[in-house]
Structure 1
Amino acid sequence: MPQVRMQVLSGPASVHPHRMGWSLAPVPVEALAAAGSAESTPRDAAWRGEWYAWRLIGTNNHELGRSALSFPTYELALGAFAELQEGLDRLVQVPIYDRPAGRWGWRLELDGAAVAISGRWYQRDQDSSLGAAKFVELSAEAELADSVVAMHERRPLGALSQPVRGMR
């Protein structure tokens, strides 16, 4: 039977998650130095724009929520999820309302810092709140997925990001 799992995502700068609502985590220099190697340091990875983030996947393979931040190393992304798991009883849910679209989402904060956000939008605030509660409940039993999901640019190189006037 499939388990709830924490899946790590990674990708190049062209698909950096800040384009999807993630921010880059402020990382202490000591943590970067400790996670580095002789060949390639995490600081180099951050300079090149490589990033890691996590998401919680349910038994039905639907995303339940994701990290509110992205990280320059795999280890820092894992550590952030472990920190969330250790602080489940201290999480504070903050509702998010997208006024133009009339949709609801949620953000979870740990000691005043955003650590997780909803992986989807909801039609009602109550459904959003229930989704956040389910995320917290299932985070406790989540297992690490076997592999990292590599994100790739979906548009061909040189493709326009906006359609040219009169063309679709």
Structure 2
Amino acid sequence: MTEFFNGYHFCQDETVNTVYNTETCLAYLQCRIEGVTPETEDPENSEVSEEFLRRFATSAPAIRDFEKALEYDEKGNFMPIEYSNFKLQLTLRDLSNEEDHTSWRSLIVYFGGLTFHPEKPTTHLKIPNRVAANRIALAVLHKYDLRNDSQYLV
């Protein structure tokens, strides 16, 4: 459960413990109680919605961010993405600016595709867990008809 459902950090101002996706954990535990093999790769109630992923996959700034974020550091963790500004409000016009990563990053945090880095929340974002990473990678692969290119799946 730690590898697939943990990793969300919602505090931008300070370091705190990461949290689990509660709905996904409860569904996982219910499967265990019922003796059914739990779905960990793509659970039904994961945080990143399918509709958002389809729209996200059309954004060049978002794709560039995730190409880096899907890489691993020397400890096997997802690579952090540095940020200097975070928007609490944004418009569709903000999202259409191909050079501005700030709006897309802020929206992706809202939808659960990125989270504040637990050790550097004021300066870095990261992919929270493998479920989010796989759903994002699959959306991009599907959008560009690269579904057979599994090198991007984690």
> Same fold per TM (> 0.5)?
no
Q: Which has the higher contact order (CA 8 A, sep 6+)?
A: 2
- The structure carrying a bigger helix percent of its residues is 2
- Which band: TM-score by shorter chain? under 0.3
Q: State the TM-score, normalized to the length of structure 2.
A: 0.25
Structure with greater Cα Rg: 1
